[in-house]
Chains A and B, each alone.
Chain A
Amino acid sequence: MATTGKVAGIISNLVMVKVDGPVSQNEICYIHFAGVKLMAEVIRIGALYAYLQVFESTRGLKTGTEVEFTGHLLEATLGPGILSKNFDGLQNDLNKMEGIFLRKGEYTHPLEPYKLWEFKPLAKEGDTVVAGSWLGEVTENWIPHKIMVPFILDGRYKVSKINSEGSYKIDDIIALLIDGKGDEYRVTMVQKWPIKIPIKAYREKPRPFNFMETGIRVIDCINPIVEGGTGFIPGPFGTGKTVLQHALSKQAEADMIVVAACGERANEVVELFSEFPELDDPRTGRKLMERTTIIANTSNMPVAAREASVYTAMTIAEYYRQMGLKILLLADSTSRWAQALREMSNRMEELPGPDAFPMDLPAIISNFYARAGYVRLHNEKTGSVTFIGTVSPAGGNLKEPVTEATKKAARCFYSLSQNRADSKRYPAIDAVDSYSKYLEYPEFIEFVSQTIAGNWIDQILEVKNILIRGNEAYEQINILGDDGVPIHYHEIFWKSEVIDFVILQQDAFDKIDASTPIPRQKYMMDKVLEVCNTAFTFNKFEEVNPYFKRIINVFKQMNYSEFQSEPFSNYEEELKSIINEKRKTEEQAV
């Protein structure tokens, strides 16, 4: 018999329950309240009470109210139909809910129980299979969605029956498996998985090395990320975290995008809801929404579900990774998730760590980032979950617990600078402070040398070097004055400005500039470095600034033009002639 209990105490969304039987940590239960059931999770078990965090407002709840325990953990429902959906943090389909306002206790089916899918078997009767093995597939939007042996099954099984091609509903049995003892298991097209536990139905998880194109120059050209890699974007409010993540979600080279809007603004999610069904995915020519799943747990939605939302998103990403796909998971903002943990921990009067966050926050964050990665499946196919989270540091100060813990967990650091944002140098990533550890991976260097260009990494290092020297020159100019430094200091500074304006800065709202494909990035990188490596002659420092401003202006016009179009070539010619105006001649060089 299932355990039941009675509400014995309420502090905000923390509810104490007297139980009549066994309960387990993180078990899901329902509070029977005024005709509806409020979902809750056991977060601590004490001598007298089980402590629940309720995923809803507890307004009006009284002591003595019945609680029913389910015996299972918080689970995601995995099967065809996840793509293009808008879920809340608990994977309720938001579009299925009635009315304008979210109603307490209204839970909806994440998938389409009555929809028919065209199933094609991939396994045969007699095959030996393990958790995650592909039994068949259906076409979801355009993705070959694999129907897999449930991840929860341990050991080896024999396929004793598999359905032939045909239309089936997700709950129809499509295969029978037999284990070593002769017990039979029925497999449908849907399975459940507890969201806080990583899905590990793969052979191995090698270091990631495949370059992942984002179309954002300051990432690809300066601190590239890899398929299966991890990155984080800390920045004070308004410095461009969300715009950057939206750009990633539109442009990144991935089969599927999972966006977790975690404790942020509803209007930002609405932007995705309304734009993604209209925008084209340049790679497939389909609508962006066809490759996207949105988990929306905005800041006004229940705090406890906010914590769950990132796990729900990660579980969905891992599930699709098992199909041999490249998934990009974006979470905005992981700080809100940490704050949700803090609110609960405070309510339970746990001993607080720094800034009143729970003591185990660093461990929680690093465990989460560790779920990303590039994996080799049992069938030798590969799949990946790339994870990029934003961090919203209190007071914009990076020395705070969430940023510090994340820095230890993520391999790419994209630091947004208040100064750059204030001067509208978007995206405001500080190219010098930020880093990508993948630049040090030999297998990554090898990969880009093969796929982009042999000198790509060298160029990246060169660009970084010019930026650093430009910064130094700028400081000297500021200390000593325009005419207190040699003219070439101005030249060094302005060459770094060329890189800044042409490569680093990118207009996320311009149709053409928003996304730069790699060949075009490579082309611009060559051009810009050509300018940087040209020796110029200036007679006085006053000539330097206007001259480079002209160069920058032409370059910017190029960025706004169709690649290799006529206007583009015209600007290129113009650029050539400007460069020649002040190029040091042979005699001068001597």
Chain B
Amino acid sequence: MEPIAFQKIYTHISQVTKATCSLHATGVGNEEMALVNDRLAQVVKIEGDLVTLQIFSGTEGIPTDSEVVFLGHAPQLPVSEELCGRFFNAYGHPIDGGPEVEGQLVEIGGPSVNPVRRKQPSELIATGIAGIDLNNTIVTGQKIPFFADPDQPYNQVMAMVALRAQADKIILGGMGITNDDYLFFKNVFENAGAIDRIISFVNTTEDPPVERLLVPDMALTAAEYFAVEKKQKVLVLLTDMTLYADALSIVSNRMDQIPSKDSMPGSLYSDLAKLYEKAVQFPDGGSITIIAVTTLSGGDITHAIPDNTGYITEGQLFLRKDTDIGKVIVDPFRSLSRLRQLVIGKKTREDHPQVMNTAVRLYADAANAKTKIENGFDLTDYDKRAMSFAREYSEKLLAIDINIEIDTMIDTAWKLFGKYFSYAEIGIKAELVEKYGTINQHKN
């Protein structure tokens, strides 16, 4: 990142705020990168010859006579096979002690895919977790976040999903993750012997928060390279998007923009959508699938960050500790994979959709029965059966430590239906019951 010899050096900054500085300069392009006393910065506003730069690492200690050099390009990343197995910071510089990557320089945050050049996602990603595969099947080209409380093991679950899913590349974008979590990911990836199909861009809590704004675009630019040029199946993990959005609000706040709900910038929806919409299935087999984490505060999903995310992503996954069995499950009520209907019953057995729906409905009946107990009411025979069913359903299917094939999941569900319920109670199409079920038609 050394300035090139003939580049003009400016040495007079006329204004400094918490996040930005302004100076008179000409011939500067919008969104161009610059160095301010060797700190990376980006052009965010041009008015006449007054140029405003956002300094990623903050403006503390920036003197008015700093040396400012414009680099003539937007943030970029060199892309090539050399990215594999490497760890980078938010600027795309190695943090693993290895050499700089050689490759074609690509501007990050590039153009969108023409929607008519996309293909409808139709390939399921098996994870072995019934809470996902059976109830909320994920599909290549999908974007889906975990909505998680900060104390939940979301990074662990995400790493597990990533390793089980058969992706050609896994690209981690870590934003404001703790150093411990960074080392956790590094460890799991290395131990799984998967390191050479993994690329990581990491901004930890020790790095300046505004820098993390570059992380998702870095990760997605690398993803586009492998999905487009190499036609690979790429899985991108983004954690934690809430911290990304917080960084957006810091910047907009420091630039005196009018905040909308929850002090978030009015453009939050578009900002997040630009990233998530990089998820894509190409006709020639390449794909980008995004699994993200959005941490919640106090479980509130109406907060602007999860709310806008929910409006963008194709469903969301919730983790929950099932107190009956003392294990973490993927919550069957609140979780939803919107793209599941593209594959269930089509790429999986035809009875999958109805079996899934029925099991969740019966699980809901058990939850109602529990409320009844809490309110001091008596349980009917049906309530009791529903509760026994729910317990076993949780234990044999939902617990995330279970790793089985989808057909086995469906068969297990049928067995539980037969064990606890009658034909009328499960309400599944007669022809499916005949073909796959083990339900007593007359038991009532």
Chain A nearest CB: distance from B327 CB in Å? 23
- The chain A residue with its CB closest to the CB of B282 is A100
The contact sample of 10 A-B pairs, CB cut-off 8 A, is: A11-B44, A11-B45, A62-B29, A100-B282, A346-B257, A395-B304, A422-B333, A423-B361, A542-B381, A545-B382
Interface residues on B, range: 35 or more
Q: Name A351's closest neighbour in chain B (CB-CB).
A: B258
Contact B269 A299 (CB under 8 A): yes
Determine if A60 and B31 form an interchain contact, defined as CB atoms under 8 angstroms apart. yes
B30 touches A339 (CB 8 A): no
- Closest Cβ neighbor of B286 among chain A residues: A100
- The stretch of B93-101, B236-244, B308-316 in contact with A is B308-316
Most buried by B among A59, A61, A422, A481: A59
Contact assessment for B115 and A266 in the assembled complex, using a CB-CB cutoff below 8 Å = yes
B277 with A10: CB separation less than 8 A: no
- Complex Cα distance A8/B45, Å? 11
A582 to chain B, nearest CB (A): 14
A103 within 8 Å of B (CB atoms): yes
Instruction: Please tell me which one of the listed residues B314, B360, B382 contacts residue A424 in the complex, with CB atoms under 8 A apart.
Output: B360
Residue B119 at the chain A interface, CB threshold 8 Å: yes
Given A100-B114, A238-B315, A343-B270, also A59-B257 (CB < 8 A): no
Bound complex: CA of A16 vs CA of B50, how far in Å?
13
A35 / chain B contacts, CB cutoff of 8 Å: none
Give the residues in chain B near A94, CB-CB below 8 Å. 114-116
Distance, CA A424 to CA B357, complexed state (A): 8
Contact bitstring A256-283, B, C-beta under 8 A = 1, else 0: 0000000101110111011100000000
Chain A 472-510: CB-based contact to B (< 8 A → 1; otherwise 0):
000000000111000000000000000000000000010
| Known A-B contacts A102-B111, A424-B357; A59 and B30 likewise in contact (beta carbons under 8 Å) | yes
Q: Is A284 an interface residue (CB 8 A)?
A: no
Q: A575 to chain B: closest CB distance in Å?
A: 13
Residues of B within 8 A of A343 (CB): 266-267, 270
- Does chain A have a CB within 8 A of B273? yes
- Of B123-131, B192-200, B401-409, B421-429, which stretch is located at the interface? B421-429
Question: Taking CB as reference atom, which chain A residue is nearest B273?
Answer: A299
Whether A100 contacts B30 in the complex (CB less than 8 A), given A238-B310, A542-B380, A552-B427, comes out as no
Interface string of A43-70 (1 = CB under 8 A from B): 0000000000000011111110000000
**Total A residues in contact with B, Cβ cutoff 8 Å:** 72
C-alpha gap A300/B274 in the complex (Å): 5
Q: Check: B105 CB closer than 8 A to any chain A CB.
A: no
B418 at the interface (CB under 8 A from A): no
Contact B430 A557 (CB under 8 A): yes
A100 close to B277 (CB less than 8 A): no
Cβ contacts A369-400/B at 8 Å (1 or 0 each): 00000000000000000000000101111000
Contact (A237, B30) CB under 8 Å given A100-B113, A301-B112, A509-B341: no
Flag if B30 contacts A481 (CB, 8 Å): no
Query: Does B285 count as interface, using CB distance less than 8 angstroms?
Result: no
Asked if B132 is an interface residue, CB under 8 A from chain A, the answer is: no
* Choice from B47, B260, B304, B377 contacting A482 with Cβ under 8 Å: B377
Verify A557–B261 contact, CB threshold 8 A.
Answer: no
Tell me the bound Cα distance from A267 to B341 in angstroms. Answer: 13
Q: Is the CB of A483 within 8 A of B378?
A: yes
A546 proximal to B (CB < 8 A): yes
CA distance A97 to B360 in the complex (A): 45
Q: Would you give the 0/1 interface string for B13-54, flagging 1 where the beta carbon is closer than 8 Å to chain A?
A: 000000000000011111110000000000011111100000
- 5 smallest CB-CB distances across A and B, nearest first, come from A299-B273, A300-B277, A395-B302, A237-B310, A9-B47
* Given A300-B278, A545-B382, A549-B424, 19 new contacts (CB under 8 A): A60-B30, A102-B111, A104-B111, A238-B316, A265-B277, A267-B118, A267-B314, A296-B115, A298-B115, A299-B269, A299-B312, A300-B273, A340-B270, A346-B267, A355-B261, A423-B361, A424-B361, A553-B427, A557-B430
Which residues 262-282 of B sit at the A interface, judged by CB distance below 8 A? 266-267, 269-270, 273-274, 277-280, 282
Chain A residues near B141 (CB-CB < 8 A): 267
A303 nearest CB neighbor, chain B only: B270
Most chain A beta-carbon neighbours within 10 Å: one of B118, B257, B361: B118
Complex partner residue of B30 from A58, A303, A546, A550, CB under 8 angstroms:
A58
Question: How far does the Cβ of A306 sit from chain B's closest Cβ, in whole Å?
Answer: 9
Residues of B within 8 A of A57 (CB): 111
> Which residues of A sit under 8 angstroms from B29, Cβ to Cβ?
59-62
Point out which of B74, B116, B380, B427 has the most chain A C-beta atoms below 10 A from its C-beta.
B116
- Give the residue name and chain of the A residue nearest to B310 (CB): A237
- Residues of chain A contacted by B415 (CB below 8 angstroms): none
Given the known interface contacts A101-B111, A395-B261, the answer about A237 and B47 at a Cβ–Cβ threshold of 8 Å is no
Check if B442 is an interface residue, CB within 8 A of chain A: no
* Distance, CA A231 to CA B414, complexed state (A): 42
Indicate if B205 sits at the interface (CB-CB under 8 A).
Answer: no
How far apart are the CA atoms of A301 and B113 in the complex, in Å?
9
* Min CB–CB distance B367 → chain A (angstroms): 10
CA of A306 to CA of B430 in the docked complex: distance in angstroms? 47
Is A164's CB within 8 Å of the partner chain B? no
Which listed residue, A10, A95, A102, A352, touches B45 by the CB 8 Å rule? Answer: A10
Residues of B within 8 A of A340 (CB): 270
CB-defined contacts of A59 to chain B, threshold 8 Å: 29-31, 74, 107
Chain A 520-561, CB-CB to B under 8 Å as 1, else 0, gives 000000000000000000000010011001101100110010
Chain B residue at minimal CB-CB distance from A343: B267
User: Nearest Cβ in chain B — how far from A333, in angstroms?
Assistant: 8
For B26, what are the chain A residues with a Cβ–Cβ distance below 8 Å? Answer: 63
Contacts of A392 in B (CB 8 A): 311
> A302-341 CB contact bits vs B (8 Å, 1 = yes)?
0100000000000000000000000000000000100110
Q: How far is the CA of A300 from the CA of B29 in the complex (A)?
A: 22
Q: Is A407 an interface residue (CB 8 A)?
A: no
Q: Which residue of A lies closest to B284 (CB)?
A: A100
A:97-145 near B, CB below 8 Å: 97, 99-104
Shortest CB-to-CB span from B413 to chain A, Å, is 16
Q: A238-B315, A392-B311, A557-B430 are in contact. Are A61 and B270 (CB under 8 A)?
A: no
Asked if A549 and B111 sit within 8 Å, CB to CB, the answer is: no
Residues of B within 8 A of A557 (CB): 429-430
Judge if A342 is at the interface, Cβ distance under 8 Å.
yes
| A342–B334 alpha-carbon span in the complex (Å) | 31
A153 within 8 A of B: no
Bound-complex Cα distance A553 to B291 (A): 38
Give every chain B residue within 8 A of A102 (Cβ-Cβ). Answer: 111-114
Shortest CB-to-CB span from A88 to chain B, Å, is 8
Q: Is the CB of A394 within 8 A of B261?
A: yes
Partner of A8, one of B28, B48, B273: B48
Nearest B residue to A86 via CB reads B116
A301 to B393, CA, bound (A): 43
User: B140 to nearest A CB, angstroms?
Assistant: 11
Which residues of chain A are near B153, meaning CB under 8 Å?
Answer: none
Given contacts A63-B48, A300-B112, A549-B425, whether A342 and B118 have CB atoms under 8 Å apart is no
CA distance A196 to B28 in the complex (A): 35
Distance in angstroms between the alpha carbons of A9 and B26 in the assembled complex:
12
Contact A10:B120 (CB < 8 A) given known A237-B307, A303-B270, A422-B334:
no
Tell me which residues across on chain B come within 8 A of A62, comparing CB atoms: 27-30, 46
- How many Å from the CB of A254 to the closest CB on chain B? 23
